[in-house]
Amino acid sequence: MNNLLAVTETILLFTTIISLIGISISLLLLLYRIITGPTNADRAVALDSIGMNLMGVAALMAILVVTTKFNDVILLIGILLFIGTIAVAKYLEKGVIIDRNMD
């Protein structure tokens, strides 16, 4: 029984580390897209995806450091990501973020 628990913890640790490595590679590729994006919309989408990957990093770190205190942070990153992406999209489309009256 004790042996099984140790095996499960080892599997969980290795899975988490492998997922962290995968997310790191994804973050590097997205950074490449941000640096050499032809248009600004490419950079906005890449920033959005970087935020989603950061949510994954926060969740994996919450597994590594055994805690539940990071769950609020994950939700917070998602919300800020959404608002930031909407602000960038409105700026790219209209030039203003908060407009006076929208007819």
Partner 1 sequence: MYKPNDLILRTTTSLIAFILLGFSIYLLLAGHNAPGGGFIGGLMTSAAIVLMYMAYGSAVLEKVLPINYRLLIPTGLLIAVGTGLASFIFGEAFLSHTYGYFHVPVFGELELATAMLFDFGVYFTVLGVTISIILSIANDH
- Report if residue 93 touches partner 1, rule: CB under 8 A: yes
Alpha helix (H) residue ranges in 1-103: 2-35, 40-64, 71-94
- Report if residue 95 touches partner 1, rule: CB under 8 A: no
- Report if residue 79 touches partner 1, rule: CB under 8 A: yes
Return the half-sphere exposure (C-beta side, CA atoms, 13 A cut-off) of residue 37: 15
- Report if residue 76 touches partner 1, rule: CB under 8 A: yes
- Report if residue 99 touches partner 1, rule: CB under 8 A: yes
Nearest in space to 54 (alpha carbons), one of 33, 83, 26, 16: 26
Give CA–CA dist 51/57, Å, rounded: 10
CB of 74 to partner 1, least distance (A): 11
Residues in the site for partner 1, rule: CB under 8 A? 69, 72-73, 75-76, 79-80, 82-83, 86-87, 90, 93-94, 96-103
